[in-house]
């Protein structure tokens, strides 16, 4: 399945999808030392987003998020790429400052079409996401 969207940060990446239906902040939701999602009750609690294509609703929270993402990036604990329904300014800064390819505003809701474990080939430069279903 091919999805088309808008570029937030250019780049070409591929990898396994990890999907959250919740808004996300790098400040408070991610342990930069491990790459794991930490809040109790979060749908990805205890799971690592490091090296994966992180699919989520939107960003939330503090302007400190890009700095936390930078800490995680230095340790190899950021996603390889990010896809969200609609980006907000802080999450766009995370992607740009930390060189994480990112797209949003896809022609189909990624939370309805991508599930954890699907394989994603993302050309964020062109705004194209190929989803290879994990059957």
Confidence class for position 7, pLDDT limits 50, 70, 90: very high
Q: Among 41, 133, 49, which Cα is nearest to 98's?
A: 49
**The pLDDT value given to residue 62:** 83
pLDDT of 50-101, one tens digit each?
999 999 999 997 889 999 999 999 999 999 999 999 999 999 999 999 999 9
Which CA distances in Å does 122 have to 94, 105, 112, 117? Answer: 18, 14, 17, 15
Domains: count for the chain? 1
Pick the closest to residue 95 from 118, 110, 79 (CA basis).
Answer: 79
Query: Residue 71 maps to which CATH number?
Result: 3.50.30.10
pLDDT in tens, 15-62: 999 999 999 999 999 999 999 999 999 999 999 999 999 999 999 978
Distance CA 129, CA 103 (A): 8
Domain range enclosing 120: 2-38+46-132
* Residue closest to 111 by CA, chosen among 77, 74, 86, 92: 86
Residue 25: name the closest of 90, 89, 73, 76 by CA: 90
State pLDDT tens for residues 75-87: 999 999 999 999 9
Of residues 20, 25, 62, 135, which has the active-site annotation?
A: 62
62 in active site: yes
What the block records as the tokens of 127 is 């705004």
- Measured between alpha carbons, how far is residue 96 from residues 5, 21, 27, 47, 99 in Å? 17, 22, 16, 24, 5
Instruction: Confirm whether pTM is higher than 0.85.
Output: yes
């Amino acid at each position: 399945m091919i999805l088309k969207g808008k570029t937030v940060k250019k780049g070409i990446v591929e990898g396994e999808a990890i999907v959250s239906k919740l808004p996300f902040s790098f400040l408070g939701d991610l342990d930069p030392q491990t790459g794991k999602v930490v809040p109790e009750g979060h749908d990805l609690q205890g799971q690592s987003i490091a090296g994966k294509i992180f699919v989520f609703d939107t960003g939330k929270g503090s302007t400190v998020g890009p700095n936390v993402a930078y800490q995680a990036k230095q340790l190899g604990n950021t996603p390889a790429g990010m896809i969200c329904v609609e980006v907000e300014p802080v999450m766009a800064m995370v992607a740009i400052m930390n060189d994480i390819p990112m797209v949003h505003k896809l022609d189909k809701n990624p939370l309805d079409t991508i599930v954890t474990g699907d394989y994603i080939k993302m050309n964020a430069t062109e705004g194209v996401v190929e989803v290879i279903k994990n059957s």
